Amino acid sequence: MEFVNQYNEATKDKKGQIIPAEVTIYEDRTFTFVTKLPPVSALIKQALKLEKGSGATPKDTVGELTPAQVRDIAQTKLQDLNTDSLDSAIKTVEGTAKSMGVKIG
């Protein structure tokens, strides 16, 4: 119950968002956790105000992101990705968008 209380306190200003956490549990049963940014797919859905992605990609598309939106999402998510390159982060966002049925315009 202690984790739930601490997690809720740490994320109280992010109501309604998906907030992943990296939890480390020690042998003495104590723990630490670090909250991460929402997944790229959640940021895309938020930017386009979507409920969900397409269930039949690439046949069906559900929206279109501008290059500026892709760049903004990549910059937001960059600190959580395993790269320091904005170009690599942009490619990650584009790949996620494509798999969701979102075009890049």
Domains of the chain with bracketed CATH = 2-35 (no CATH), 40-104 (1.10.10.250)
What's the whole-number average pLDDT of the chain?
91
Query: Is the confidence at residue 87, as pLDDT, over 80?
Result: yes
Please, are residues 23 and 33 in contact by the beta-carbon 8 Å criterion? yes
Q: Which two tokens stand for residue 43?
A: 């940021």
For residues 77 and 61, give the distance between their C-alpha atoms in angstroms, rounded to a whole number. 23
- 75: number of Cβ within 10 Å: 13
Q: How confident is the model at residue 78 (pLDDT cuts 50, 70, 90)?
A: very high
pLDDT of 57 reads 67
User: DSSP E strands: which ranges in the chain?
Assistant: 21-25, 31-35, 63-65, 102-104
19-61 residue pLDDT tens? 999 999 999 999 999 999 999 999 999 999 988 887 776 678 8
Q: Is the pTM here over 0.85, yes or no?
A: no
